[in-house]
Amino acid sequence: MIDSLFLFVAAAEGAGEELGAVASLARQFGVDWRFLIAQIVNFCLVAFILYRFAFKPVLNTIEDRQKKIADGLQYAEEMKSKLEEAEKKEAETLKKAHQEAQVIVQETRESAKVMLEKQSKDAAEKAEDILKRAEQTIEMERTRMLSDVRQEIASLVVQVAAKVLRRELPEEERTRYNEAASKELASVE
């Protein structure tokens, strides 16, 4: 724009005829060339100062903010990728923990099964042991009862024999007959 004005001024000076027309037009609008040039110089000076000390820092601030925004977006992308990676690791960890829990549950079930089988076996062995002891006790009781019965029968035989013979046997003979009868009864079984 400044170049256009200088060209306009130069063209006005070069053409005498045109100068008169431009000058008359400028006078009609109340334009003084000296003030116009001073205002143009002042405008350029103010524009330069504003550009240098106002627009340039504002542009630098805008560039810094754009850079910070770009860095923030890049950081957000990095964090997003790290978050996705962390979620994948978490999913893998949960999957692994679930698998380990399944293994532990399976091992516990197997252990419980083995323990149950062992307890069943122990219970069966104890029951068998109790049956054996009961059989032994029954056998001992049977033997004792048979012995008592033999002695009773022998005593009855001696008493019957004494009555048949109508006499009282001395203790020594009674014992001998009892023993002989017991031996005889024992051999019968």
Range of 40-44, 147-151, 173-177 with top mean pLDDT = 40-44
Q: Is the per-residue pLDDT at 50 higher than 80?
A: yes
pLDDT in tens, 161-188: 666 655 666 778 778 877 877 777 677 6
pLDDT in tens, 57-71: 888 999 999 999 999
First to last CA, the chain: 150
The domains of the chain are located at 18-186
The C-alpha atoms of residue 78 and residue 67 are separated, in whole angstroms, by 16
Indicate the pTM of the whole model: 0.38
**30: phi > 0 → left, psi -120 to 50 → alpha, else beta; which?**
left
Q: Assign 146 a pLDDT band (cuts: 50, 70, 90).
A: confident
What residues contact 23, with CB distance under 8 A and at least 6 apart? 12
Q: Assign 153 a pLDDT band (cuts: 50, 70, 90).
A: confident
Crossing angle between the packed helical segments 33-50 and 2-14, to the nearest 10 degrees = 160
pLDDT at 180: 79
pLDDT at 16: 52
Residue spans of alpha helices (H) in the chain: 2-14, 16-29, 33-50, 56-165, 171-188
pLDDT in tens, 96-112: 999 999 999 999 999 99
